[in-house]
């Protein structure tokens, strides 16, 4: 091709190189640049690629270089910051740039008119929902106001007739606050229209403690450091986030607000929309393709400040002029993607994005990860503490109930102890609400034959099938489902249930509290977006008395009338084969504890356990999170676990168990030779395994895991590259492509 101009192209494939293509004759090279989209042929298939460089010199015979098919002028150009993010993520997580590109742009061409129509429909739906919410708020405040007036009249009567000293001024102040909230809600856009104008919202008022935390955060930003906001549950971290976001938008800078799960974004959406109006955009996997495409287009072309509320995938949107990144609940495991590549952590990728854009970043949590606490201790990040609850309420009381002791004295009724039943009755009598956590869904997690002892297992995974009340036996790993017959397939004996899932807990609760309104929220019911939203809103409005659920209910929800939270079979949270098990259990329990007693009523947190002396429970009961964290940190240091090292897992999967074991053993020997302390620059990097994980077969794939612990020193990058090269060479030499995965910083 005479006088051809050559470009390199990123394709959405697992390629260790970026293919070279030629521009067709007659194409003006000056009209083609980095980030442009092109259609090309690769391995006899068409792909949409991204130009990563122009004017390159080919390292192969020019006669073998194919021309691009055409420029995709109707597709958006990729910003340089996006490509830089892809490269950094690929480098850190030991994958290819093409795999990151594929994750960042999973959707193809979508009719923009359809996308815009979907966006307008979303605006109308959001506005109507907001107005309904405000009207409901006003109604509840009016009822509360009347109650306070009656209480005040009663107190005054007592003080006159009986000389009873009542804190009347506090009641009057509460009434004043209720009136102010009522007036503020009334100003919040009840006369709104259906156009795109934002709804005026009341200003953000911070308490003294919040103002101190806000000022300390600003000081951290001025020092150009990430800030960890360690705020106890109910301390009002969201108000600080909103004020920081407002400041960024006022400077015409954009904001990315990350949450770990969709359920949290749904609760936050209405609150943020009330304040930021149409500047708010929402992005997560449950949104339609048209809606996501519209958000990407709006971000790319926005000349005014925007705020995106999203889950981890929103990191790969075409951000520009970022002024602030908020990572809420930074400790949450949901930020980590396990499959497919890139197997990235949203929190850590947000820190990479912050470096690229030079913007501020705040990471918030009531139970910070040890990694973040370590970063603060090392001086890399700034720790800001917020120890007071926003409404001044005290932390919930804690009661640990020993279920073994209760069973000995016949103090259990099914899965509920009589002590817990008494607490629940008392809470319901006082008009409070209750939330019950059980970490297993279904009716029974295990079914066993009472004759031969056989446990019903999934034919595709080495886990038991769970019994669901609709008559199905379901695998919660691969989704396999069988009809429940009640009989053993081996000896025709009767199947009996072992343990209890959320369905059974719901059934028992309905029998114990027949007058209570009960609902269940787990991954079975939450598959229906409308049901999940209706359940959360119903509980917030007081239309549900008892909510039973899995870990979904422990997230950052704010329910004003929730006075009792309880954990059934809490020990299931501790029985994980994971060095992070205690940390995860503590975080989940402490987060759940924080859901109750958020206003003027002190809450109660009940833990039912057969291990009441476990240190996690003891530290929670003694209100010593710092002591537990210090102990866990020392333990990590002693055993060279993160945050004092970097762990890389190599996972081998194969349909044949013997081949999985054989190949994993060979790869393990290869890695040990590389990381031998006598001949490697990465000294003292132990290789463990291969070993089968707890669940060693999923969806007919047998699994073996090799774990490498790398020191966090100047040789870290060299060690990671050595792992990637070793795996790549092993795949080629053994002709074993497609069976090996690399997972950096496994959760």
- Tell which wins on pLDDT, 646 or 278: 646
Q: Do 593 and 671 have their domain in common?
A: no
Look at residues 152, 201, 140, 148 and name the one whose alpha carbon lies nearest to residue 559: 140
Residue 415 has pLDDT above 90, yes or no: yes
Residue 152 has pLDDT above 80, yes or no: no
Q: Do 220 and 247 have their domain in common?
A: yes
Q: Do 303 and 227 have their domain in common?
A: yes
Look at residues 592, 598, 590, 659 and name the one whose alpha carbon lies nearest to residue 621: 590
| pLDDT in the model for residue 82 | 96
| pLDDT in the model for residue 167 | 45
Domain total in the chain: 5
The two structure tokens encoding residue 70: 């055409």
106-116 average pLDDT score: 58
Residue 488 has pLDDT above 70, yes or no: yes
What CATH number should be reported for the domain holding residue 294? 3.40.50.300
Q: Do 161 and 280 have their domain in common?
A: no
Q: Do 696 and 565 have their domain in common?
A: no
Boundary-marking domain end, from 186, 220, 241: 186
Rg over CA atoms, the chain: 29
Does residue 459 lie within any of the structural domains? no
| pLDDT in the model for residue 75 | 86
| pLDDT in the model for residue 30 | 85
DSSP track, 421-434:
HHHHHHHHHTT-EE
Q: Do 309 and 215 have their domain in common?
A: yes
Cα–chain center distance at 62: 48
Residue 185 has pLDDT above 70, yes or no: no
| pLDDT in the model for residue 540 | 84
What count of other Cβ atoms lies within 10 Å of the Cβ of residue 96?
A: 22
| pLDDT in the model for residue 495 | 94
What count of other Cβ atoms lies within 10 Å of the Cβ of residue 515?
A: 6
Residues 6+ apart with CB under 8 A from 451: 488, 491, 493, 494
Look at residues 136, 119, 128 and name the one whose alpha carbon lies nearest to residue 280: 119
Does residue 375 lie within any of the structural domains? yes
Euclidean distance between CA atoms 353 and 312, whole angstroms: 12
Q: Do 358 and 273 have their domain in common?
A: yes
| pLDDT in the model for residue 522 | 87
Q: Do 632 and 652 have their domain in common?
A: no
Please give the model's pTM, rounded to 2 decimal places: 0.86
Does residue 474 lie within any of the structural domains? no
227-231 and 412-413 beta bridge pairing = unpaired
- Range name among 168-172, 237-241, 355-359, 582-586 with the lowest pLDDT average: 168-172
Nearest-5° angle of CA 325, CA 327, CA 330? 155
| Model confidence pLDDT, tens digit, residues 364-403 | 999 999 999 999 999 999 999 998 877 656 678 899 999 9
Look at residues 403, 329, 400 and name the one whose alpha carbon lies nearest to residue 607: 400
Are 614 and 573 a contacting pair, CB within 8 Å? Answer: no
Q: Give me the chain's average pLDDT, please.
A: 86
| pLDDT in the model for residue 262 | 83
The two structure tokens encoding residue 504: 């059974």
DSSP track, 261-322:
SHHHHHHHHHHHHHHHGGGEEEE-TTS-HHHHHHHHHHHHH--S--EEEE-GGGGGS---SE
Maximal C-alpha separation, the chain: 106
Look at residues 294, 253, 270, 254 and name the one whose alpha carbon lies nearest to residue 188: 270
Under the banding of pLDDT at 50, 70 and 90, the label for residue 201 is: very low
| Model confidence pLDDT, tens digit, residues 626-636 | 778 888 999 99
| Model confidence pLDDT, tens digit, residues 448-458 | 999 999 999 99
Kind plus residue range of the DSSP H or E element containing 46? strand 45-54
Residue 127 has pLDDT above 80, yes or no: no
Nearest-5° angle of CA 661, CA 667, CA 673? 135
Q: What beta strand segments (E) does 143-251 contain? A: 227-231
| pLDDT in the model for residue 128 | 65
Boundary-marking domain end, from 186, 217, 244: 186
Q: Do 301 and 378 have their domain in common?
A: yes
254-258 and 307-310 beta bridge pairing = parallel
The two structure tokens encoding residue 586: 């503590």
Euclidean distance between CA atoms 120 and 123, whole angstroms: 5
Q: Do 297 and 371 have their domain in common?
A: yes
Look at residues 13, 80, 16, 93 and name the one whose alpha carbon lies nearest to residue 48: 13
Q: Do 524 and 584 have their domain in common?
A: yes
| pLDDT in the model for residue 205 | 83
Domain that holds residue 551: 397-443+500-637
Does residue 243 lie within any of the structural domains? yes
Place of tokens 């009002």: 236
Cα–chain center distance at 449: 38
Euclidean distance between CA atoms 426 and 431, whole angstroms: 9
Q: Do 335 and 222 have their domain in common?
A: yes
The two structure tokens encoding residue 709: 């612990």
β-pair partners for 399: 606
Are 130 and 278 a contacting pair, CB within 8 Å? Answer: no
Residue 349 has pLDDT above 80, yes or no: yes
The two structure tokens encoding residue 229: 């906001």
Residue 435 has pLDDT above 70, yes or no: yes
What CATH number should be reported for the domain holding residue 700? 3.30.70.600
């Amino acid at each position: 091709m005479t006088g051809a101009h050559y470009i390199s192209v990123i394709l959405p494939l697992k390629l260790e190189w970026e293919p070279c293509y030629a521009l067709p004759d007659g194409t003006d090279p000056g009209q083609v640049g980095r980030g442009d989209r092109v259609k090309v042929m690769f391995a006899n298939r068409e792909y949409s690629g991204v130009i990563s460089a122009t004017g390159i010199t080919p390292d192969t015979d020019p006669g073998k270089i194919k021309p691009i098919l055409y420029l995709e002028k109707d597709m958006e150009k990729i910003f340089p910051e996006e490509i830089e993010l892809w490269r950094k993520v690929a480098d850190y997580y030991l994958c290819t740039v093409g795999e990151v590109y594929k994750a960042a742009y999973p959707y193809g061409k979508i009719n923009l008119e359809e996308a815009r129509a979907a966006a307008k429909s979303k605006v109308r739906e959001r506005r109507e929902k907001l107005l309904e919410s405000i009207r409901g708020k006003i109604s509840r405040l009016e009822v509360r106001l009347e109650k306070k007036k009656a209480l005040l009249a009663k107190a005054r009567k007592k003080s006159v007739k009986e000389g009873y000293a009542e804190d009347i001024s506090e009641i009057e102040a509460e009434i004043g606050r209720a009136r102010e909230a009522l007036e503020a809600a009334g100003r919040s856009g009840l006369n709104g229209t259906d156009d795109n104008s934002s709804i005026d919202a009341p200003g953000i008022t911070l308490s003294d403690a919040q103002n101190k935390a806000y000022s300390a955060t600003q000081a951290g930003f001025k020092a150009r450091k990430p800030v960890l906001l360690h705020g106890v549950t109910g301390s009002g971290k969201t108000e600080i986030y909103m004020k920081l976001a407002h400041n960024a938008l006022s400077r015409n800078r954009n904001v990315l607000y990350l949450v770990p799960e969709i359920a949290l974004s749904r609760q936050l959406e209405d609150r943020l929309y009330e304040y930021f109006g149409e500047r708010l955009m929402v992005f997560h996997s449950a949104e339609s393709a048209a809606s996501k495409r519209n958000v990407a287009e709006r971000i790319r072309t926005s000349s005014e400040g925007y705020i995106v509320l999203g889950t981890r995938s929103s990191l790969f949107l075409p951000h520009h002029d970022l002024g602030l990144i908020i990572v809420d609940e930074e400790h949450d495991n949901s930020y980590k993607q396990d499959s497919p590549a890139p197997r990235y952590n949203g929190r850590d990728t947000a820190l990479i994005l912050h470096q690229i854009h030079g913007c501020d970043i705040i990471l918030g949590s009531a139970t910070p990860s040890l990694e973040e606490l370590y970063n603060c201790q090392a001086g890399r990040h700034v720790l800001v503490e917020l120890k007071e609850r926003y409404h001044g309420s005290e932390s919930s009381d804690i009661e640990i109930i020993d279920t073994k002791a209760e069973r000995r004295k016949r103090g259990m009724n099914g899965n509920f102890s009589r002590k817990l039943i008494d607490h629940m009755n008392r809470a319901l009598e006082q008009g409070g609400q209750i939330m019950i956590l059980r970490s297993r869904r279904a009716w029974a997690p295990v079914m066993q034959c009472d004759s031969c002892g056989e446990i019903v297992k999934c034919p595709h995974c080495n886990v038991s099938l769970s019994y669901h009340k609709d008559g199905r036996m379901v695998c919660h790993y691969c989704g396999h489902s069988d009809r429940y017959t009640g009989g053993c397939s081996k000896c025709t004996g009767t199947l009996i249930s072992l343990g209890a899932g959320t369905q059974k807990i719901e059934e028992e609760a309905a029998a114990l509290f027949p007058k209570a309104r009960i609902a269940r929220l787990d991954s079975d019911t939450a598959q229906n977006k409308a049901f999940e939203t209706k359940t959360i809103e119903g509980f917030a409005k007081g239309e549900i008395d008892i909510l039973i659920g899995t870990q979904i209910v422990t997230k950052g929800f704010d329910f004003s009338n929730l006075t009792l939270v309880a954990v059934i079979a809490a020990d299931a949270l501790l029985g994980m084969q994971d060095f992070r098990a205690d940390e995860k259990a503590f975080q989940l329990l402490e987060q759940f504890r924080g859901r109750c007693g958020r206003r003027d009523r002190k809450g109660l947190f009940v833990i039912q356990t057969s291990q009441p002396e476990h240190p996690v429970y003891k530290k929670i009961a003694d209100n010593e999170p710092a002591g537990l964290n210090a102990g866990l940190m020392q333990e990590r240091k002693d055993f060279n676990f993160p945050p004092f090292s970097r762990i890389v897992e190599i996972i081998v999967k194969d349909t044949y168990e013997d081949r999985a074991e054989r190949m994993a053993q060979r790869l393990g020997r290869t890695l040990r030779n590389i990381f031998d302390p006598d001949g490697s620059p990465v000294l003292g990097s132990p290789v463990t395994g291969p070993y089968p994980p707890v669940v060693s077969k999923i969806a007919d794939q047998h699994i073996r895991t090799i774990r490498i612990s790398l020191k966090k020193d100047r040789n870290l990058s060299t060690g990671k590259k050595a792992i990637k090269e070793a795996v790549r060479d092993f795949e080629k030499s053994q002709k074993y492509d497609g069976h090996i995965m690399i997972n950096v910083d496994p959760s």
